[in-house]
Structure 1
Amino acid sequence: MTYSLIAKDPKTKALGLVTATGNLAVGGFVPHLRAGVGAIATQGYSTNYWYGVNGLNRLQAGENAESVVKNLTDADEGRAYRQMLLLDANGNGAAWTGSANSPHHDHIITHNLVAGGNILANETVIPAMKQGFENAVENGCSFALALLHALEAAFDAGGDKRGTSSATIQVVTPNQLPLDLRVDDHPHPIAELKRLYDMTRQSDYQSFFVRLPTPDHPHQH
């Protein structure tokens, strides 16, 4: 149904999340990010949106990553139908994949990265997603572009068993404006997402973006 990757950029302390699914508007439900706190992808056969809301609040209150995932899923009688991926601001990851999510389902946790998916075309999708991100970083890609390469690698490995119709990328960095791009319904959502990202790198958009106020520079214009 959905495949997602969360990562931290150790240089900038940015947290980024990419996700795609065979349903509408994945960006409206799955990704939850808060700069300096953490990032959560909540998905599965029946997505529990509140894992994201409550999970970030728990992280901000000082609860550790594994405890947040355990406490939220333990309290949920529908946890067998959920999947939750979490990465805190220090790069510590945790995840839950309920047994009632249709195969193939999987998650991977390493320092600064968590990836997972359900109703996948095959068992290679999530390892390919992780490898796609890591290869892009090693090749010198920007953090956001590496996230998009991860999404492309997962799609190329088979992606969602039903096909893919929506995709999103979100990146949050302390004291900076977020990147938040969404494709809610498209025959080729990952390619469309990459097109939108490329447009944000063009000079006209960059000249607008860099003059916007930030917490460190609240009066710039």
Structure 2
Amino acid sequence: MTYTILVAQPGLLGAATASRSLAAGNAVLAVAPHAGVTVSQAWTNRRLRGLLLGALADGESPAAAVARVPDWDEEPELRQVAALTPDGRGAHRTGASCTAWAGGLVAPGVVVVGNLLTGPEVLDAMLAAWTSGTGVPAQAPALEPELAEALTETFDAPVVSPVDPALALAHRLAAALRAGEAAGGDRRGRQSAALQVARTTSERIWPPQLAVDLRVDDGERPVDELERLLALPGASSPAA
């Protein structure tokens, strides 16, 4: 029903998802800047996202965390989950009853998972787009003045880079979604898409402070709309 990418870069965590379901971004993604990023999809159990993040925050590896799904859920065969830590370790689990085609791929710093897809080529295309760096605009998005000031205070030094790394990462995530869609995507069609990016921190804050948090809950071309939103002023927020 859904295809999703999770990524970790130095200082950043991100995730993006698309689906032929209403408001997938409300149910699928969860980012905790101090712990990692998780996803729960297929016959979605939203609660699993928080349980996975709690396990990561307690020091469990992503592989150990996703292996606990049968302990937390009475119908683990219906669930597809994934987890990624800020240092780039990732893992996924696809229940035996998730609707075909379903599966996932893991590479350093990235996990892609999907179910009810046209085939494995969807995830292959997403991973290839991410690995190649597809999606960064020809003119990289500039830091807004408020963000530059906030980052300067955070690092106690002037921020001289004209590039907003969180927004650049968001563009790459959107490009990975587009690649998955072009390869076939959700075999039922399109409806919603979402992406989130956070700057990592050792502090536990609730709700999490996200640098980019955009959703298209219901649309004919949700990935197109997500990219339109990314191009608007204010698409990224200053660090807290």
- TM-score tier by shorter-chain length is 0.7 to 0.9
Out of 160, 163, 183, the residue aligned to residue 186 of structure 2 is: 160
Runs of 4+ in 1 over 3 A off after TM superposition: 137-141
Out of 141, 148, 159, the residue aligned to residue 174 of structure 2 is: 148
Corresponding residue for 1:20? 18
Corresponding residue for 2:221? 188
Change (3 A) 1:77 1:5: same
List alignment gaps of at least 5 residues for structure 1.
216-221
- The CA deviation string for residues 39-67 of structure 1, in whole angstroms up to 9 with x for no partner, is 001101x1111110111111112222111
Equivalences for residues 81-92 of structure 1 within 5 A: 81-92=78-89
**CA positional deviation for 1:188:** 0.4
Asked whether the 8 Å contact 1:36–1:173 carries over to 2, the reply is no
Please tell me the residue identity of whatever aligns with 2:187. Answer: K
- The CA deviation string for residues 156-190 of structure 1, in whole angstroms up to 9 with x for no partner, is 00000100100001001135742100000000000
Corresponding residue for 1:33? 31
What secondary structure is seen at the aligned counterpart in 2 of 1:57?
helix
What secondary structure is seen at the aligned counterpart in 2 of 1:116?
strand
**CA positional deviation for 1:99:** 1.2
Corresponding residue for 2:133? 136
Asked whether the 8 Å contact 1:16–1:144 carries over to 2, the reply is yes
Change (3 A) 1:61 1:103: same
For 2:122 and 2:30, how far apart are their aligned partners in 1? 22
**CA positional deviation for 1:136:** 2.2
Equivalences for residues 73-84 of structure 1 within 5 A: 73-84=70-81
Give the percent of matched residue pairs that are identical in Structure 1 and Structure 2.
33
What secondary structure is seen at the aligned counterpart in 1 of 2:47?
helix
| Number of aligned residues | 204
For 2:237 and 2:173, how far apart are their aligned partners in 1? 21
* Range moving further from structure 2, 30-39 or 75-84: 75-84
For 1:37 and 1:122, how far apart are their aligned partners in 2? 31
Asked whether the 8 Å contact 1:7–1:17 carries over to 2, the reply is yes
Corresponding residue for 1:218? none
Q: Verify: 1:104 aligned to 2:101, yes or no.
A: yes
What secondary structure is seen at the aligned counterpart in 2 of 1:186?
coil
Asked whether the 8 Å contact 1:134–1:146 carries over to 2, the reply is no
- The CA deviation string for residues 124-161 of structure 1, in whole angstroms up to 9 with x for no partner, is 00010111112225978721111111000000000001
TM-score (norm 1): 0.86
> What's the C-alpha RMSD, in Å, of the aligned pairs?
2.0
Asked whether the 8 Å contact 2:2–2:17 carries over to 1, the reply is yes
**CA positional deviation for 1:123:** 2.1
